Copies of this chain bind each other. A is one copy, B any other.
Amino acid sequence: MTIKDLAAQTGYSVGTVSRVLNNQPHVSEAAREAILRAAAAADFKLNPNAKQLKQQQSNSILVICKGTVNELFDNLLVAIQARIAQTEYPLIVDYIDEVENEVRRAVQLCLEKKPRGILFLGGNRQHFLEDFHHINVPCVLVTNDARDLPFPNLSSVSSDDILAAEMAIDHLVELGHRNIGVIGGSREYSDTTALRYQGCINAFQRQGLSFPEDHYETARFSYEDGYRAARALLERRPELTAIFAMSDVMAIGAMRALADLGKRIPEDICVVGFDGLAMGDFAIPRLTTVAQSAEELVNHSLRLLAHYADPDATALHETVPVTLMKKESTHRPV
Chain A positions within 8 Å of B, measured between CB atoms, are 43, 45, 47-50, 52-53, 65, 68-71, 74, 77, 93, 95, 107-108, 111-112, 134, 223-224, 227, 252-253, 255-256, 259, 278-279, 281-284, 286
Q: How far is the CA of A227 from the CA of B284 in the complex (A)?
A: 13
Q: Are B48 and A112 in touch, CB under 8 angstroms?
A: yes
Q: Are B282 and A253 in touch, CB under 8 angstroms?
A: yes
> How many protomers of this protein does the assembly include?
2
Q: Write out the residue numbers on chain B whose beta carbons fall within 8 Å of the beta carbon of A69.
A: 68-71, 74
* The residue from B68, B252, B278, B281 contacting A68, defined by CB atoms under 8 A apart: B68
Q: Are A111 and B45 in touch, CB under 8 angstroms?
A: yes
Q: How close is A204's CB to chain B, nearest CB, in angstroms?
A: 28
* The residue from B47, B65, B111 contacting A48, defined by CB atoms under 8 A apart: B111
> Counting chain B CB atoms within 10 Å of each CB, which of A48, A107, A227, A255 scores highest?
A48
Q: How far is the CA of A181 from the CA of B283 in the complex (A)?
A: 22
Of chain B, the residue at the smallest CB distance from A114 is B49
Q: Do A95 and B68 form a contact, CB below 8 Å, given A50-B53, A253-B282? A: yes
Q: How close is A122's CB to chain B, nearest CB, in angstroms?
A: 14
- Name 28 A/B residue pairs within 8 A (Cβ), A-sorted: A43-B134, A45-B108, A45-B111, A47-B53, A47-B111, A49-B49, A49-B52, A49-B53, A49-B112, A53-B53, A65-B68, A68-B68, A68-B69, A68-B74, A68-B95, A69-B70, A69-B71, A69-B74, A93-B95, A223-B279, A223-B282, A224-B278, A252-B282, A256-B281, A256-B282, A256-B283, A256-B286, A283-B284
